Amino acid sequence: MEIKLKAGKKYSICSCGLSNILPYCDNTHREYNSKNGTEYKSVKIIPDKDTTIKVTSSRWMSNGEDE
């Protein structure tokens, strides 16, 4: 999946696959970590210029769309 990032804006990318707004983190991992003793965290990105990145994770469930 490709996403466009704006310079100077902070982005949190999901690493656990539980977010309802993939590829972005919605902090769903916090409750999951508390209940399951895990330590999932989001990946923080603050680009210094506008850019496009490709992101993927084996933890994300496919919704059938081509990525």
Whether this prediction's pTM lies above 0.85 is answered by no
Q: Mean of the pLDDT values across residues 23-29?
A: 96
* Domain with 40 in it: 2-54
How many structural domains does the chain have? 1
DSSP 41-55: -PEEE--SS-EEEE-
Token pair recorded at residue 40 = 């999932």
- pLDDT tens per residue, range 54-64: 998 888 875 44
41: CATH: 3.40.5.90
Domain assignment present for 36: yes
pLDDT(46) > 90? yes
Please state, in angstroms and rounded to a whole number, the distance separating the CA atoms of residues 29 and 55.
Answer: 18
pLDDT score for 62: 56
